[in-house]
Chains A and B, each alone.
Chain A
Amino acid sequence: MKKIIRIAVSVVLISCMTGTISCKKYLDRSPESVVSAETAFKDFTNFQGYTEELYNCIPDFTNRYWTNSWNWGDDEIQSSALNFHIVNKIDNGDFWGWQRESDGWGAGWMDVNGANTNDDRFSKGLWPLAWYGIRKANLGLENMKLMVNATDEERNLIKGQLLFFRAWFHFQLMQYFGGLPYIDKVLPADQDLRSPRLKYQECAALAAKDFREAADLLPLNWNNTAPGGKTPGKNELRIDKAMALGYLGKNYLWAASPLMNMVSTGTRTYDVELCKKASAAFAELLNLSESGQIPYKLVSFDKYYTNFYTFGQNWQLPGGNNSDGVSREAIFRGPYWDAHGSTYGTAKQYTPGPTIEEGNVVFTPTANYVKNYGMKNGLPITDMTKADAESGYDPQYPWKNRDPRFYNDIVFDGVKMVKGSMPSDIKEFNRYANLYTGGSSRDERVGSRTGFLLFKFTPITSNRFDQGYAYGQNLNIRVPYMRLADIYLMYAEASTAATGSPFGKDPSFGKTAVDAINVLRDRAGVGRVAAKFQGSADEFMKEIRRERAVELSFEGHRFNDLRRWLQFIDLPYTLKTAIEFDRASDLNPAVDPKDNRVVNLRERTILQRPFTEKHYWFPLKRNDVNMYPEFKQNPGW
């Protein structure tokens, strides 16, 4: 008996130790650890929280890596010491370089591993984030009905944002890859996916539908909505009607452009109907802007730089902020995560080494592109090496009487680069840009390859002596995706192509295409469009394109513009050139560098880009195009 008790006791002891008194759902997930879909969508607070992750899907192309390459047209060339940036691959015709599989250093903003919505600028890539965002938008749109505790206004705000993002991500991808499937539902996990690629214009039509609906749902100004009223100071980046209209028009104009029209219909000219729609959308936006109903207004030229960077303003997000404290020029920007991040690399990527700056990645404007900056009187320069009586250009004084934006954006020979003191071991002449042939700022590997430097996005103090990027300077660099000046330019282009006339306009808006260009000329203090360009749509279109090249220079538009205009693979747009010249006399710092005389000015081709028809589009990922025949690779890749 004792034995039996002993054993029973032992069994009990063992049972206690091992906890056999079990819960049968031992392996079930404990319910308190589950966040459900129902919670996410039940009211405005939660649904807006669900939606706002989409804002973190907007890559910051200005600050994706230490140094950043986003100009892949004929506008910019990189120093040769390191060639990992995508622009080098573009120059070689190797467009696979946008894919992370081919991006050894992982420096590009088009593609990274995974859709990362965290606050880390380094982890953002357009390709994965766009598809993630589209899925997220679709999941939200399909669950609108779960939003039971909400006003109509709140419902409209949510739905408008979701529709905008769905279309915006599609648009961003289409412009590089051509027509894609337009994903407007949450795709099932357990079925074979066989969506065919649409033609560009089919895809764009679906995006336009979403942009239009979003524009109709979204407010003119979030500050004036009930939910927005509660979050002052945090509404600027929220998607509003102007953003939807801006991208509605841009999407139409892109679809109408020669390249997109060619791949959709075979015609190598603008599609007139789509241009009319684009013009109408821009007109709607410009009317709202000029009547003050939306907070978007051109910034005055002395504050032009604030479109791209701010300093000494508590890390203010750049965006062309007007002094009224309300209105701004930037229409579409993503959030920023670490303002100081831009100062590690982006602030240093335009300054020549080795004396002025460390680091060997330097992006310099090409001479062929700088040529687009005409004269102050508004006339273009036809040949940099030849004097032109009409415009007043003189190759002996190539820096004289130029478009004011030239002086704002470009550093040329003789400009004072270092303001403050320099240590004794650095030769004093390095204080000035020595961009003449053989000058100390000219260096294939780590300096200027072209005879110019770019200072549109960085203050001139961004060098290791003036420390313009030191923490205390609060320098925040960020180029917007879309600003109001772009709307004027696109309006002019769309209206001209829609009507075949420089004086074309949308019926709802007072300004003609010429007027729209002159708005920007007036702001910069440049002469208005010359009469000789007002004679025909073709002549005027050249001037629109030149104006676009100057006003939006280096902001990431040129690559897409050349492509959609079907100019990308043709001479002279495949050339990147430098200027070679000698100083007529030694630099005299007392003289305004504009007035310096140069001799032997000539233009030298650095490289010609080996482009063929296939280079109009980026290649899609091999993995995607090898799954089923209807998702085809772009031709030639």
Chain B
Amino acid sequence: MKAYIKVKRGNGRSYRYSNPARMFYMTVLLFITFIGVSVAQEQRTVKGQVFDQQKATVVGATVRVKGRNTATQTNSKGEFALTVTGSNPVLIINYVGTTTQEVDVKDKDFITVNLKDNIAQLGEVIVTVAYGQQKKQSVVGAIVQTDSKTLERTGGVSSLGAALTGNLPGVVTTASTGIPGGEDPQILIRARSTWNNASPLILVDGVERSINNIDISSVASVSVLKDASATAVFGVRGANGVILITTKRGKEGKAEIRASANTVIKAPSKLPARLDSYDMFQLRNKAIENELALRPAAWNDIMPQDIINKYRFPANETERERYPNVDWVETLFKNNAISYNANVNIAGGTKFVKYFTSADYQKEGDLFKTFDSNRGYTAGYGFNRLNIRSNLDFQITPTTVFTTNIAGSRGVRQRPWININEYNTWGAAYYTAPNLFLPKYSDGSWGYYAPNAGQGTNSAMLLATSGSEILTTSRITTDFILEQSLGMFVKGLSIRGNLSIDNTFIENGRGINDINNPTQQKYIDPQTGIAGYSVDKDPSTQFGFKESDRWAAAGGAVDNGATQRRMFSQVRLNYATKIGEQHNIGALALWNRDQTAAGSIIPSYREEWVFRTTYGFKGKYNFEYNGAYNGSEKFGPDYRFAFFSSGGVNWNISEEKFMKPLKFISLLKLRGTYGSVGDDSGSPRFAYIDEWSFGGRTRLGTSGIPAEQSVYNWYRQTSVGNPNVRWEKVKKANIGVDFGLFGDVLTGSVDVFRDKRTDILSSGNNRAIPSYYGATAPTANKGQVNASGYEFDIRFSKYITTNIRLWSNVNFTHAENKIIVADIAQLLPDYQKSEGKQIFQNNSYVSAGYYNNWDELYAGTAHAENDNQKIPGNVYIIDYNADGVIDANDNVPYAHTGNPQNTYSATLGFDWKNFSVFAQFYGVNNVTRQVVLTSFGGQNTLAFDQGSIWSKNNTNPDVPMPRWASTPSGYQDGNRYFYDASYIRLKNAEIAYTFNQSWVKKVGISTLRLFLNGNNLAVWSKMPDDREANYQSAGGQGWASQGAYPTVKRYNFGANITF
């Protein structure tokens, strides 16, 4: 049964392995055995440490002895130790992107090497591409990469997705909430070219995994693949771009310990501005006066000025409680909250095993103030995360490497025990009026609005008395990889097998369940001054109400519906060879299968066959052709598999002889790619067949709560199939130029792209199928979208003196799309069809100034509904189709979509010796967001500060006079709630100092870097709050008037220590 396998090592000893599980235990054993075993030493040893121009240690620099075969690489602290013989030994230190240095070590046992940047060698930079790595020089596709150093300076954000913002041209992120543990933004690569899911494919160490809960400190690089040649090998999954996250690995050498710790101070960013009670009542009086002709009855609501005065200037505590004036933002939120992050990792290795292990602890603080519930617990939000990773590479034989990556993450989110309507906990900051009640009265009872409890959410009370729930997300990801060189048969051939098993468990319902346990609430009627209470008597005893602890501790349960399992297996054949000095040939063949399941669903399956061929000539010309043959269970047998392929070419012009005279050009490379990629994410599972389900019974009984069920189990057709449903296809073209000028003081790249997506899947709800069809129409391939744009990335770096460097990175992305074909009602007027517009184009009635008097009003166009409710001070609505009435046909495309067309980032930096400073600005424009904040909506005594207000004397105001009791038509808002959602942020800024002087070494530290940085430090925007979109990653879909946990700015102080 057990297949024992003998693997012989070079020294003749042999090990026996059985199945992967056993192998895993062996691995752990081996790891324990070999950790700490250091490289054997003999004779004279020269040690040293290598730094780059930014004073950071250089990992993986090659150090060899001139004229000999001895060489080593620097470890993760940049250190090396090398045995030298001979009388005048010289070391050659070599690292990509820097100039090679030679150091005479005749009388030295320790050297410090400072490598200078040599961007001319950027072509030598290793870029992570799909299923492997390539030298940047030979890359033909549009790939951008960022490294751990850049990610770690993002000012204390804990979400890797958020750390990508602005650092990768072509990556557009959109954030919506600052809730601890839920800050991951939505990510879009280049332009949206489908109305279905446009999220990129995210792979962590080659396997599709969530970007959430990854600790930034264990990430070595993030590579973003944008065009066809880079993504075609992912076939069906690559159409929206691919993000490859690579974790750090060990290097041969002594164990090194890196530690970092930082403290983040978070402060709420911008929230909608509201009027206080005093200003609100004055405005309300004006509003009532303004609409008196329509609603004379509203005169009863006029508030006398002497009463209004009491709201702002109460004479005593009694008046303060009777006439509340609550600033809910200040009530609910602290000025700042503290987060912490601590990280330790150990990397190193021997000839047999290389290891990288890390532990990272993140604690996100809560902006909410703590409200004492008198119930013996403290409620609020919070997020703690522990990430552990162990990446091991075993050199089992000289030609065999066995790799295991084991990572675990445990994220613990705390939140109030509110399963739905979570927005009520921050709701008061957005929509509870200032004059209704105090959050808490001096006698300890909470405030409420007795006349209509639903209109005045007391978020402080809800937060304090809603219990406390712990949600734990435990994620374990494992990779087992065996790589065998087959060089003994064919030089350059190797085979690699990969098995990955991931599991995610979510436990919820742990904590303090305190729902449905009322607390005493008080309301003081400002008219009478009489206090009323919400609970007259105890519901269970019928005696007077007494506050007590009724909550129950809940043990929590694994949410069976949310568990996720994945088993991914892959076999890969790699071939790379050189024929002569001029011909580089590479080939890759790969097969994989992916099986995933969440909860109790039938697992989903995927199968892919992939190949890639590359050819390079003299480093001048590189060709690549690759493709994937993919299967999806979503499509019928006739359409199940599809072949996607792409090709690309590049030309390093600067390598040509005729370019050599042009000395100021150090790099000039042209590249172009074209190919097709597919997507099936818009399709439901098994879209090709009718789906039936069994189960459910009708309650045909007539008593009991709920009524008794009938005996007959339902059969129902749950979806109608479309046998012709098939892949969405994108044809992607990309042309790019990489350049380096003036000795690489100026480097950069420019890319122009065009995507043409056809056969876009239209789900039944988005198709022009009459209601009387009676079912959700089947998904069909009914759309076409063109997307195009360009991006550039320019880097400047110059030494003013030996010690002073100025640097700057600027990148810009423009991405736009246009719907060519969509399945829409064809009798709609052209301007209302989605065809020819951007995906998710906003539509609105369009305002054009104000009716300033009755004459102008009567001369204006009639509204189809509620026309008699117009008054001077309303806005003109443009009668777009000029039919003499404002109706649904005047709802026209307006402004932009929620996805910005332009994103740009500019970073300026300055280094002086060990001191460095930088600031990064990030901005977007051509983007629109709807933020509906209506003063006095639903006769709520809440008014927003939205600028100047119309009056007879101010006919050019920011906003019209709000309405109190009258009901104008919905048209009259025009476009006022559509905001230009452009913004510019001071995204990141940092001041840092690195100590690597001898005194730090004396205390056992190799380098110590202290930094002070920040994230989202300032924002310039026209929006009333600091959210980029209305979705919330936590608490489900929300809209603007419900608000969100405030987004934050962060100030971060910390230290990186290398031992």
Question: Are A181 and B772 in touch, CB under 8 angstroms?
Answer: yes
Proximity bits, B530-560, A CB within 8 Å = 1, else 0: 1111001001000000000000000000000
B660 at the interface (CB under 8 A from A): no
Question: Are A335 and B699 in touch, CB under 8 angstroms?
Answer: yes
Across the interface, A336 reaches (CB within 8 A) one of B397, B606, B689, B699, namely: B699
Across the interface, A53 reaches (CB within 8 A) one of B450, B714, B724, namely: B714
Question: Are B827 and A627 in touch, CB under 8 angstroms?
Answer: yes
Task: Quote the shortest CB–CB distance from B486 to chain A (angstroms).
Answer: 6
Question: Are A234 and B703 in touch, CB under 8 angstroms?
Answer: no
Task: Quote the shortest CB–CB distance from B896 to chain A (angstroms).
Answer: 22
Task: Quote the shortest CB–CB distance from B670 to chain A (angstroms).
Answer: 39
Q: Nearest CB to that of B932 among chain A residues?
A: A104
Across the interface, A626 reaches (CB within 8 A) one of B637, B700, B827, namely: B827
Question: Are A340 and B694 in touch, CB under 8 angstroms?
Answer: no
B132 at the interface (CB under 8 A from A): no
Inside 8 A of A317's CB, which chain B residues have their CB? 702-703, 707
Known: A52-B712, A92-B866, A313-B703. A131 touches B773 (CB 8 A): yes
Complex formed: what's the CA distance from A470 to B717 in Å? Answer: 40
A624 at the interface (CB under 8 A from B): yes
Known: A17-B497, A18-B593. A37 touches B717 (CB 8 A): yes
Question: Are A134 and B774 in touch, CB under 8 angstroms?
Answer: yes
A316 at the interface (CB under 8 A from B): yes
Q: Give chain B interface residues in 700-719, CB to chain A under 8 Å.
A: 700-708, 710-717
Q: Give chain A interface residues in 576-615, CB to chain B under 8 Å.
A: 610
Across the interface, A234 reaches (CB within 8 A) one of B637, B640, B700, B773, namely: B700
Inside 8 A of A237's CB, which chain B residues have their CB? 700, 702
Across the interface, B774 reaches (CB within 8 A) one of A17, A30, A132, namely: A132
Which of A353-361, A383-391, A507-515 participates in binding chain B? Answer: A353-361
Question: Are A353 and B451 in touch, CB under 8 angstroms?
Answer: yes
Which of A77-85, A243-251, A522-530 participates in binding chain B? Answer: A77-85
Across the interface, A94 reaches (CB within 8 A) one of B6, B489, B826, B969, namely: B969
Complex formed: what's the CA distance from A118 to B602 in Å? Answer: 22
Interface, chain A (partner B; CB < 8 A): 2-3, 6-7, 9-20, 22, 26-30, 33-37, 39-41, 45-50, 52-53, 55-56, 80-84, 88-89, 92-94, 96, 102, 114-115, 117-119, 127-128, 131-136, 138-139, 180-181, 183, 187, 189-190, 193, 195, 230-231, 233-238, 313-317, 319, 335-340, 353-354, 358-360, 423, 425-426, 444-446, 465, 470, 474, 476, 610, 621-629, 631
Question: Are B938 and A610 in touch, CB under 8 angstroms?
Answer: no
Question: Are B633 and A27 in touch, CB under 8 angstroms?
Answer: yes
Q: Nearest CB to that of A317 among chain B residues?
A: B702
Complex formed: what's the CA distance from A310 to B536 in Å? Answer: 26
Question: Are B696 and A629 in touch, CB under 8 angstroms?
Answer: no
Complex formed: what's the CA distance from A118 to B569 in Å? Answer: 40
Task: Quote the shortest CB–CB distance from A531 to chain B (angstroms).
Answer: 43
Inside 8 A of B19's CB, which chain A residues have their CB? 16
Known: A18-B569, A337-B699. A128 touches B452 (CB 8 A): no
B605 at the interface (CB under 8 A from A): yes
Question: Are A340 and B770 in touch, CB under 8 angstroms?
Answer: no
Q: Nearest CB to that of A127 among chain B residues?
A: B771
Inside 8 A of A131's CB, which chain B residues have their CB? 771-774
Complex formed: what's the CA distance from A6 to B396 in Å? Answer: 12
Task: Quote the shortest CB–CB distance from A32 to chain B (angstroms).
Answer: 9
Q: Give chain B interface residues in 1-57, CB to chain A under 8 Å.
A: 3, 5-8, 17, 19-20
B999 at the interface (CB under 8 A from A): no
Question: Are B771 and A231 in touch, CB under 8 angstroms?
Answer: no
Question: Are B452 and A33 in touch, CB under 8 angstroms?
Answer: no
Proximity bits, B486-503, A CB within 8 Å = 1, else 0: 101100000111110000
Which 8 pairs across A and B sit closest by C-beta, in order of nearness?
Answer: A135-B774, A14-B497, A40-B715, A626-B825, A18-B569, A94-B865, A49-B712, A354-B451
Complex formed: what's the CA distance from A594 to B73 in Å? Answer: 103
Instruction: List 10 other contacts, CB 8 Å, given A36-B692, A445-B939.
Output: A3-B488, A15-B497, A17-B499, A29-B686, A55-B700, A117-B696, A183-B774, A337-B707, A360-B451, A626-B828
Inside 8 A of A19's CB, which chain B residues have their CB? 569, 593
Across the interface, B602 reaches (CB within 8 A) one of A12, A30, A50, namely: A30
24 A-B pairs whose Cβ atoms sit less than 8 Å apart in the complex:
A7-B486, A7-B489, A14-B482, A18-B569, A26-B631, A27-B605, A39-B692, A50-B716, A92-B967, A117-B716, A135-B773, A183-B774, A187-B773, A189-B777, A231-B710, A234-B708, A237-B700, A340-B705, A353-B451, A359-B452, A423-B532, A470-B539, A610-B868, A627-B768
Task: Quote the shortest CB–CB distance from A299 to chain B (angstroms).
Answer: 15
Q: Give chain B interface residues in 907-931, CB to chain A under 8 Å.
A: none
Known: A3-B488, A92-B967, A190-B722. A10 touches B705 (CB 8 A): no
Inside 8 A of A236's CB, which chain B residues have their CB? 700, 702
Inside 8 A of A426's CB, which chain B residues have their CB? 532
Task: Quote the shortest CB–CB distance from A325 to chain B (angstroms).
Answer: 11
B632 at the interface (CB under 8 A from A): yes
Q: Nearest CB to that of A50 among chain B residues?
A: B715
Question: Are B696 and A53 in touch, CB under 8 angstroms?
Answer: yes
Known: A10-B484, A17-B482, A135-B775. A627 touches B825 (CB 8 A): yes
Complex formed: what's the CA distance from A359 to B451 in Å? Answer: 7
Question: Are A13 and B939 in touch, CB under 8 angstroms?
Answer: no
Complex formed: what's the CA distance from A414 to B637 in Å? Answer: 76
Task: Quote the shortest CB–CB distance from B280 to chain A (angstroms).
Answer: 17
B302 at the interface (CB under 8 A from A): no
B303 at the interface (CB under 8 A from A): no
Task: Quote the shortest CB–CB distance from A306 to chain B (angstroms).
Answer: 12
Complex formed: what's the CA distance from A380 to B657 in Å? Answer: 109
Task: Quote the shortest CB–CB distance from B205 to chain A (angstroms).
Answer: 16
Across the interface, A353 reaches (CB within 8 A) one of B452, B496, B721, namely: B452
Inside 8 A of B530's CB, which chain A residues have their CB? 425
Complex formed: what's the CA distance from A19 to B571 in Å? Answer: 10
Complex formed: what's the CA distance from A238 to B712 in Å? Answer: 13
Known: A10-B482, A10-B495, A315-B704. A81 touches B452 (CB 8 A): yes
Question: Are A55 and B698 in touch, CB under 8 angstroms?
Answer: yes
Across the interface, A339 reaches (CB within 8 A) one of B6, B397, B705, B713, namely: B705
Question: Are B704 and A314 in touch, CB under 8 angstroms?
Answer: yes
Inside 8 A of B708's CB, which chain A residues have their CB? 233-234
Question: Are B499 and A18 in touch, CB under 8 angstroms?
Answer: yes
Residue of B400, B531, B692, B714 with most partner-chain A CB within 10 A: B714
Proximity bits, B549-585, A CB within 8 Å = 1, else 0: 0000000000000000000011100000000000000
Inside 8 A of A53's CB, which chain B residues have their CB? 696, 698, 714, 716
B186 at the interface (CB under 8 A from A): no
B86 at the interface (CB under 8 A from A): no
Question: Are B865 and A96 in touch, CB under 8 angstroms?
Answer: yes
Complex formed: what's the CA distance from A621 to B480 in Å? Answer: 56
Inside 8 A of B495's CB, which chain A residues have their CB? 10-11, 14
